[in-house]
């Protein structure tokens, strides 16, 4: 390999709401694919009987898994809200810069609000 310099690509762009939310949509989509596996294991542990289920619940009962699950909950709501935004665009609406910024910030705000409400009503 030679040491010729690479032309700059991603580094020349200033982060903007459009690009940052898009990157997070992809990251949360990939992250959800992983955390959904954990949920599937949990459901399978129910089918495998009481002792497996209790053992798996004990394994899940620690602060690292709690952080992972709460992050995944936020990722699900974020991906859901930005996903609806994508579907709105697919119908041909909301492409002007002002609408893109408003729908972007609204999606971020809704994702945190829905995470908080889910924790409040279904978890805590
Ligand atoms: C556990 C559930 C989900 C998983 C694992 C998942 C995963 C993914 C992944 C990996 C992508 C590709 C991202 C990329 O390459 O940029 C994606 C895209 C997408 N997801 Fe999801 N998703 C989930 C739930 C949802 C939900 C509930 C919605 C509904 C609002 C949604 C709407 C979308 C849309 C519209 C796209 C395409 C975005 C584009 O055109 O670039 N997803 N999803």
Amino acid 2: pLDDT: 76
Amino acid 60: pLDDT: 94
- Residue 29: exposed, middle, or buried by beta-carbon count in 10 A (0-12, 13-18, 19+)? middle
Q: Is the separation of the CB atoms in 80 and 32 below 8 Å?
A: no
Q: Where are the domains of the chain?
A: 16-123
Return the best residue to mutate from 20, 25, 29, 43 for the ligand 1 pocket (most ligand atoms within 8 A of CB). 29
Amino acid 1: pLDDT: 64
Amino acid 5: pLDDT: 82
Look at residue 105 and give its three-state secondary structure: helix
Query: How much distance in Å is there from the Cα of 93 to the middle of ligand 1?
Result: 19
In CATH, 16-123 is 3.40.1780.10: no
**pLDDT in 10s for each residue of the chain, 124 residues:** 678 888 888 788 889 999 999 999 999 999 999 999 999 999 999 999 999 999 999 999 999 999 999 999 999 999 999 999 999 999 999 999 999 999 999 999 999 999 999 999 999 8
């Amino acid at each position: 390999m030679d040491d010729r310099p690479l032309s700059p690509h991603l580094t020349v762009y200033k982060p903007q709401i459009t690009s940052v939310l898009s990157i997070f949509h992809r990251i949360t989509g990939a992250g959800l694919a992983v955390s959904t596996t954990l949920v599937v294991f949990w459901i399978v542990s129910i089918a495998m009987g009481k002792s497996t289920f209790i053992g798996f619940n004990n394994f899940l009962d620690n602060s690292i898994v709690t952080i992972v699950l709460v992050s995944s909950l936020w990722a699900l709501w974020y991906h859901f809200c930005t996903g609806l935004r994508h579907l709105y665009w697919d119908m041909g609406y909301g492409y002007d810069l002002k609408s893109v910024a408003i729908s972007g910030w609204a999606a971020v705000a809704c994702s945190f609000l829905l995470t908080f409400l889910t924790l409040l009503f279904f978890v805590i």
